Amino acid sequence: MLFSSITFLYVFLPVTLLVYYLAPKQAKNTVLLISSLLFYFFGEQEYTLLLILSSVSDYLHGLYIESRRGTKQAQAALVSSIVINLGMLGIFKYLDFFIGSINSLLGTAIPLSGLPLPIGISFFTFQTMSYTIDVYRDQAHAERSFHSFATYVCLFPQLVAGPIVRYTDIQAELNDRTLTLDRFAAGARRFAVGLGKKVLIANLLGELVSVYQNTPNQTVLFAWVSALAYALQIYYDFSGYSDMAIGLGHMLGFTFPENFRYPFCSRNITEFWRRWHMTMSFWFRDYVYIPLGGNRCSSMRWIFNVMTVWLLTGLWHGAAWNFVAWGLCYGLILLAEKFFLRNILDRIGPLTYVYQWIITMVMFTIFNGVDVLETLGIMFGGAALVDPTAVYYLKSYAVVLVMGIIGAAPVVKHIAEKVEHSPVVTVLEPLLTAGLLILSTAYLIDGSFNPFLYFRF
């Protein structure tokens, strides 16, 4: 079920919130668990059992690891937990990619498994892995209540597209959380903003990208406009989803970690990745990069560590060669920045932002995976500069693009902070919240273009 669907907004959400708020405190986790399983089942019938099994597995592993902490058995249990989680990812996400690659390389005809990708598997396996690792490291206590642990794993706001919430992030709130009107209002506002980002900006930019892909006469201008639109689309799509998840968390009494911090305002790519999909970046930092040795090692080892992390980051995003290339390219860019580019970028003033934007647009063109080489060729002069179609769509989407660019900077946030205590905001904030909800509903009612890009990861 998509957050930006009428079924979610006008059936699932009101019913869940009503029942949740009416339920006594000790029953709230039960309400959340049942509603979360229903939420998942509605979009992924056959794999709901997999989600439950994953919860059972890591719950038991967590208890065992804690009971044998510091022993070989605990280590074996940790390995077992990681193997099971990576095994699930391997079977459901990477098996066909692996078989297809073997077939292409060796000319074999090994049949594909044809298994559909369970929605959100990359998110919930990473969450449960972080749990058992944290328990093993004595950074978290094993959850005694299966009920509470399953609620954490299945919690619908963050189940299918993040943020990647670690057990330690919400451990305390799982068993004792406070619901206040202020938190509900903050959550409602955040959810409405996220919905607006998704429906009123990302979907429209997605239409523009789709138009470009279906246009027979592709030009340099249109290719760059499309690349810009795609980069902004994926930002508004994913950060909008994260906003909705964080907002729902607030409404339900949870505090989820932030996932984006205006990445397009970065001066370089290293900074970009400190601001983009932060919960994933931090996950790889804490559970892969640092265990590999981080940067406290030889240069060659450090290069290996960086490239390994970025290869895995690429693969995490999708089982396809374009994601592998995307990840490795980012690894190389980050190494280049570390070794020599940063010194140059520090001296070129505002042009450093241009560098970041161009790299980001090119990298998301690779990420998109549609006619990558051809599109990159067109972007860098392999076609006519401009034609009337490109001009038309640039004019037609100019306001949305400009809004997208402005919204990617903290302009609105700064204004909101300045007028925070103004009495006008007392009226303006509810109006904007309702306005975003109603306008987004109008767009959903009339439109059919409503994909969530990060569902496939």
By CB under 8 A, tell whether 430 contacts another protein.
Answer: yes
Distance CA 150, CA 33 (A): 7
Pick 242 or 433: Cβ nearer another protein: 433
By CB under 8 A, tell whether 1 contacts another protein.
Answer: yes
> Which of 61, 250, 317, 414 does the annotation list as catalytic?
317
| Cα 422 off chain centre by | 34
Q: Which of 87, 291, 381, 447 binds another protein (CB under 8 A)?
A: 447
By CB under 8 A, tell whether 424 contacts another protein.
Answer: no
CA separation, residue 166 to residues 118, 255, 281, 392 (Å):
20, 11, 13, 46
Q: Which of 70, 388, 414, 418 binds another protein (CB under 8 A)?
A: 388
Distance CA 147, CA 36 (A): 12
Size of the site for another protein (CB under 8 A): 55
By CB under 8 A, tell whether 80 contacts another protein.
Answer: no
By CB under 8 A, tell whether 70 contacts another protein.
Answer: no
By CB under 8 A, tell whether 116 contacts another protein.
Answer: no
Q: Is 421 a catalytic residue?
A: no
By CB under 8 A, tell whether 398 contacts another protein.
Answer: yes
By CB under 8 A, tell whether 14 contacts another protein.
Answer: yes
Pick 108 or 214: Cβ nearer another protein: 214
By CB under 8 A, tell whether 105 contacts another protein.
Answer: no
In whole angstroms, how close is the CB of 320 to another protein at the nearest point? 25
Distance CA 127, CA 105 (A): 34
Which of helix, strand or coil describes residue 180?
coil
Distance CA 192, CA 230 (A): 22
Pick 106 or 424: Cβ nearer another protein: 424
- Alpha helices per DSSP H over 167-262: 167-175, 181-196, 203-213, 220-252
Q: Rounded to the nearest 10 degrees, how much is the dihedral formed by the CA atoms of 32, 37, 42, 48?
A: 160
- Letters for 202-231 (x = contact with another protein by CB under 8 A, - = none) are --x---------xxx---------------
Q: Rounded to the nearest 10 degrees, how much is the dihedral formed by the CA atoms of 179, 25, 52, 195?
A: -20
In whole angstroms, how close is the CB of 34 to another protein at the nearest point? 16
For the four alpha carbons of 104, 105, 111 and 112, in that order, the dihedral sign comes to negative
Q: Which of 3, 156, 191, 316 binds another protein (CB under 8 A)?
A: 191
By CB under 8 A, tell whether 146 contacts another protein.
Answer: no
Distance CA 286, CA 189 (A): 32
By CB under 8 A, tell whether 52 contacts another protein.
Answer: no
Q: Output the CA angle 295-296-300, nearest 5 degrees.
A: 65
Q: Which of 89, 159, 161, 188 binds another protein (CB under 8 A)?
A: 188
In whole angstroms, how close is the CB of 445 to another protein at the nearest point? 5
- DSSP one-letter string for 305-372: HHHHHHHHHHHHH-SSHHHHHHHHHHHHHHHHIIIIIHHHHTTSTTHHHHHHHHHHHHHHHHHH-SSH
CA separation, residue 187 to residues 55, 154, 183, 244, 277 (Å):
27, 20, 6, 8, 20
Query: Which stretch in 229-237, 375-383, 405-413, 422-430 sits in contact with another protein by CB under 8 A?
Result: 422-430
Q: Which of 53, 354, 399, 412 binds another protein (CB under 8 A)?
A: 399
Those residues with Cβ within 8 angstroms of residue 134's Cβ, 6 or more apart along the chain or in another chain:
140, 166, 167, 168
By CB under 8 A, tell whether 11 contacts another protein.
Answer: yes
- What are the residue numbers of the active site? 317
Chain residues binding another protein by CB under 8 A are: 1, 5-7, 9-11, 13-14, 17-18, 42-43, 45, 181-182, 184-186, 188-189, 191-192, 204, 214-216, 388-389, 391-392, 395-400, 425-427, 429-431, 433-434, 437-439, 441-447
